[in-house]
Structure 1
Amino acid sequence: MKVKNVNIKTIDRKTLSKQVIDEIVHLLMSGELKPGDRLPSEVELMEMFDVSRPVMREALTSLEAVGVVNRKTRNGTFFSDQINSKPFTMILALSAGNIQSIIETRISLELGLVTLAAEKISDDELELMEEKLQEMKNTENYQSIDREFHEIIARNASNPLLESISEPLLNLFDETWSQIPISYRNSDTTIRQHEEILNALKQRDPVQAYTSMYQHLNYVRERLYQSQMESETKEE
C-alpha cells in the first residue's frame, strides 16, 4: 500500500513523546491523513520527527492504548477507521464516584440524542421500544431493559460519535445506579416516564421528546442525590 506524502514539523527535544503524539494527532485533525490511512513507517517517522526509536514507540503505544491508531505487525500502523470510545472511557474513569458529574453529563448527552432520534427513528425501532417498555412492565428487575431502551434512542440519533460516547457513559451510570437501594426507585414513575418519552418519539416531536427526557432524568437525578445525602448522614 502506498503511503501518502505528509508534511510533518520537526520538534525540539522537550517532552518528546507528548510532542510526537500531538503532531500525529494533528495529521488526522488537519485532514492530511484520514481515518483508516496508513502512517509512515516507524523508521520514517523517527527521521521526520528526529527522535529515537524508544520515543517513537512510546508515542505509538500511547496512541494505540486510547484507540487512535492500530498497529499491525506486518502491515504497519493505521489510524483507526471507526470512532473509538476509549479516550472518553478514560475521562469518565476519573469521574467515577462523582454522582453529580455523571448524571449531569448523561442529561446533557441524552437530551441531544432524544431530539435527534425524534427526527430520524423508524417505525421498526419504535416497535422495538414498545416491546422493551412492555418487558419493563412485566419484570421487577428491569435495569438491563431500561438500558436497552436508552440504547435504542442513542442508536437512532444516527450519529456514531454521540453513540460511541453514550455507551461508556451508560456503563458508568449503571454501575452508580446499581449501588442505590431499591427503596429509592419507583417502577411506576419510571415506566410512566418511559411511556411519555416513547409517545413523543412516535409523534416525531423533538421538543416534547426533549421535555419528557428531561423530566425523566431529572427525577433520576433527584433520586440519586437523595440517596447520596442520606447515606452521608448515616455515616456521620
Structure 2
Amino acid sequence: MNINPISMKKIYQSIIEQIVLLVKEGKLKAGDKLPPERTLAEMFNVSRASIREAFSAMEIIGLIEVRPGEGTFISDLNIAPFINAIAPLFVKNESMETDLLEFRTLLEVNAVKIAANNAKNSDLELLKKSLELMESALEKNDPVLGAKADIEFHKAIFLISGNYILLKASECMTYILESSIRFNREKILYNRENTKMLLNQHIQIYEAIKNNNPDLACDIMEKHLNLVRKIM
C-alpha cells in the first residue's frame, strides 16, 4: 500500500489562504492597498522573507498587483501573469491551437449574441472607435495598429455582453493565442486583402449589434472566425 507522507504546509501558503479568505469575505476588494511588507510580517507574526514569497506567488496567479513607488494592491482578477507563464504549454502543437480557436468561437458567438441583445448607444462607441482604428491601420498599412484595434473590438463585444465570466475567459484565450506563432494578428493583417476582408466583417458585426439582431451577429461572427482559421 502506497502512503504519501504528510508534509507541513509552508508559511507563505498560509498567508495566501488568509488573503484569499479576506477577499472572499469582502474585507479586501479589488483596488485595496495592502499594508507594507514590514507591517504584514508583524501582523502575521512571520518573517519578511515569507511575506515576499507569498507576494511573489500571489502576483503570479494575479491576486495582487505590485505598483513600483505606490505599493501592493488587490487585483481585479488579473490573469495575465499566470496565463503568460503557462501559455507555451497550450500552443506547443497545431492541433491544440485548433482546439483553442474552436473554443474561442464558442465564446465569441455567445458573447456577440448577448451583446446584440443588450447593446446601448453608449456601448456602440467602443466598437466604433475600434473600427476607426482598423480603417486608419488599413490606410497607413500598419499591421501593428490593426492588431491592436482587432483585439479592442473583440474585447468590447465581451464588455458589452456584461458577462464577467465570458470576459475573463476571453482574456485567458487572448493571452494564450497571442503567444502562438501561428496565430499572429500582425502576420495575418500584413496582407492588405486579408485586412480589407476582416474589416468588412467587423463592420457587419457592428451593424448587427447596432440593430439588435443577435441571429445575424452570431452568423457573421462565426463566418469571421472561420475566415481567420482559413487564413492561418
Say if 1:129 and 1:56 are closer, same or farther in 2 by CA, change over 3 A: closer
Deviation (angstroms), 1:17: 2.5
Deviation (angstroms), 1:152: 2.6
- Per-residue displacement from partner, 1:57-76 (whole Å, max 9, x unpaired)? 21112223444224578986
Is the partner of 1:94 in helix, strand or coil?
helix
Alignment partner of 1:165 is 2:165: no
Kept in 2: contact 1:95–1:101 (CA 8 A)? no
Which of 54, 78, 84 matches 2:49? 54
Which of 55, 75, 84 matches 2:78? 84
Deviation (angstroms), 1:220: 2.2
Q: Pairwise CA RMSD of aligned residues?
A: 4.2
Which of 203, 206, 215 matches 2:211? 203
Aligned to 2:32: 37
Following the alignment from structure 2 to structure 1, what is the Cα–Cα distance between the partners of residues 120 and 139?
25
Is the partner of 2:73 in helix, strand or coil?
strand
TM-score, normalised by the number of residues in structure 2? 0.64
Alignment partner of 1:114 is 2:104: no
Aligned to 2:227: 219
Aligned to 2:153: 152
Percent identical pairs in the alignment equals 28
Report the AA paired with residue 108 of structure 2.
Answer: E
Q: Which runs of 5+ in 1 are unaligned?
A: 1-11, 225-236
Following the alignment from structure 1 to structure 2, what is the Cα–Cα distance between the partners of residues 131 and 99?
30
Kept in 1: contact 2:91–2:179 (CA 8 A)? yes
Alignment partner of 1:23 is 2:18: yes
Name which of structure 1's ranges 169-178 and 209-218 shifts more when overlaid on structure 2: 169-178
Deviation (angstroms), 1:20: 2.7
Deviation (angstroms), 1:103: 1.6
Aligned to 2:4: none
Say if 1:95 and 1:57 are closer, same or farther in 2 by CA, change over 3 A: same
Greater Cα radius of gyration, structure 1 or 2: 1
Following the alignment from structure 1 to structure 2, what is the Cα–Cα distance between the partners of residues 75 and 19?
25
Deviation (angstroms), 1:32: 2.7
Following the alignment from structure 2 to structure 1, what is the Cα–Cα distance between the partners of residues 137 and 37?
53
